[in-house]
Structure 1
Amino acid sequence: MMSRDISKQIYSYISELDDIEEKKLTLKVDRGHKYVDRRTSVAIYFDVAFDQQSFRFTLGLVVRDVGGEILVSTTVLHSDVASPFTAEAYAGLQAIRLGISMGFSILEIVGDSRTVIKKCQTTYFDRSVIGALIRDIHSKKVHFQEIGFHFVPKTENTYTHILAKEALKMGEGHYLLGGVPGYVRRALEKSWPRLPD
């Protein structure tokens, strides 16, 4: 094949690509069903409650949409974990897995463990105790168009913290669409400051 023929083929291919228009997809939604646009930014907050005597922990995950509305809350009990540090890294991994299973393409992972969040933000090979978990988190980034990891103080992660703490006390996990369990709301009400009479 001569260079002139190759040039013609390339030109033909480029002009073909120029002619292709993006197809606009439409979605008809029943008025009775709530639709969450999976392309919009969603935040998954994570936290753990750790029992040092039994080496058990409960991870709590809360999925919030752009408006701050709770889409899902879940808790999972685990045992035989050496440290709270490892538990926090595992909770971050579970947050990403939840984002993948829910089909989100843009995701923010939010937690109050500064070290875990920083390790998730870097691309360096991690040789620490939680290195394998961090590498697993990094390997799952390919499932998203955009993914970010953000640190928040514990005071801004209250729902998730109480969710994990109360689930550890009760010894049970849950998966709830559209909110948090009643025991979390009651615990939050107790923690709010009361005005004097």
Structure 2
Amino acid sequence: MFSNYLSVRPDTLNQRAAEFLEDYRQAQEQLVAEPVMQNNREAWKPPPESAFKLNFDAAVFSEVNRSDVRAIICNYKGEVMAAMSARGPTVHCSEEGELLACRKAIEFGIDAGFSKLVIEGDNVNVIKAISSQTASLSLLGNVVEDIKHLIRDLQWESISHTRRNGNKVAHVLAQHARIIVEDLYWIEDSPPLVVGHLYQDLCLL
């Protein structure tokens, strides 16, 4: 299913390898320079042992007229089960970008075979909209209802809001979207550019 996700064009391989190495180096420097705060109440929290946590985020780059979607799925130990970094459509506001990112992230999770998910994002309005039991009458209501339909197909789900620190790995992926030239997917592997942040989360478990 994911063979096409993992393919890499030869003409971009060297460029991507250099970018990932530089991101990894910077992450290691940051890890040394910024000690982990043990009292950080906004840290990433693990899902139940039988489930997985799906964190998503969006980045909107108005100067290049596009959005980007980032998602990461981890188990209760904080180990990365799957991750994605994909280009999104043109959007008119950050909330639209977050809703479209949420929909694409859940589709990715389902396609990757995950049916028990804690779905978590840092946009409170998006989380409220997809958690609501009433139909959305907003201009983005069709996207909200698409997300609710996807969620109903899961065996088990929990929807929660987190602040930026609890969603920092997905956020870092989103902010690095400017250097991505094609959609990237990782299965049972960690994106190199967030290794340092993943380690910080594990230290707080």
Query: Normalising by structure 2, what TM-score?
Result: 0.67
Q: Give 1:157 deviation, angstroms.
A: 1.0
Cα RMSD between the aligned structures? 2.2
**CA distance, structure 2, for counterparts of residue 82 and residue 58 of structure 1:** 13
Residue identity opposite 2:72 in structure 1: V
Instruction: Choose the corresponding residue for 2:177, options 164, 167, 173.
Output: 167
- Aligned pair count reads 151
1:73 maps onto 2:88 in alignment:
no
Q: Give 1:170 deviation, angstroms.
A: 3.5
Instruction: Choose the corresponding residue for 1:156, options 160, 166, 169.
Output: 166
Residue identity opposite 2:107 in structure 1: R
More contact order relative to length (CA 8 Å, sep ≥ 6):
2
**CA distance, structure 1, for counterparts of residue 50 and residue 99 of structure 2:** 25
Q: Which runs of 4+ in 1 moved over 4 A?
A: none
Q: Give 1:111 deviation, angstroms.
A: 0.5
CA gap of 1:65–1:185, structure 2 versus 1, over 3 A, is closer
Q: Once the two structures are superposed, what CA deviation does each residue of 1:58-83 show, in whole Å capped at 9, x if it has no partner?
A: 11000001221111111111232211
Preserved contact between residue 60 and residue 91 of structure 2 (Cα < 8 Å): no
Residue identity opposite 1:122 in structure 2: S
Aligned to 1:88: 98
**CA distance, structure 2, for counterparts of residue 183 and residue 113 of structure 1:** 23
Percent identity of paired positions between Structure 1 and Structure 2: 25
Residue identity opposite 2:102 in structure 1: G
Q: Once the two structures are superposed, what CA deviation does each residue of 1:82-124 show, in whole Å capped at 9, x if it has no partner?
A: 1111110011111221222122231111100110001111111
Aligned to 2:54: 44
**CA distance, structure 2, for counterparts of residue 142 and residue 181 of structure 1:** 29
Aligned to 2:155: 145
Q: Once the two structures are superposed, what CA deviation does each residue of 1:4-60 show, in whole Å capped at 9, x if it has no partner?
A: xxxxxxxxxxxxxxxxxxxxxxxxxxxxxxxxxxx9211110001111223311110
**CA distance, structure 1, for counterparts of residue 173 and residue 142 of structure 2:** 26
**CA distance, structure 1, for counterparts of residue 141 and residue 50 of structure 2:** 30
1:57 maps onto 2:67 in alignment:
yes
Aligned to 2:109: 99
Instruction: Choose the corresponding residue for 2:121, options 85, 90, 111.
Output: 111
Q: Secondary structure at the match of 2:97?
A: helix
1:123 maps onto 2:133 in alignment:
yes
Residue identity opposite 1:75 in structure 2: S
Preserved contact between residue 49 and residue 168 of structure 1 (Cα < 8 Å): no
**CA distance, structure 1, for counterparts of residue 116 and residue 89 of structure 2:** 31
**CA distance, structure 2, for counterparts of residue 100 and residue 61 of structure 1:** 13
**CA distance, structure 2, for counterparts of residue 177 and residue 63 of structure 1:** 10
Preserved contact between residue 89 and residue 116 of structure 1 (Cα < 8 Å): yes
Preserved contact between residue 98 and residue 123 of structure 2 (Cα < 8 Å): yes
Q: Give 1:184 deviation, angstroms.
A: 3.2
Preserved contact between residue 55 and residue 83 of structure 1 (Cα < 8 Å): no
5+ residue gaps, structure 2: 1-48, 199-205
Query: Normalising by structure 1, what TM-score?
Result: 0.70
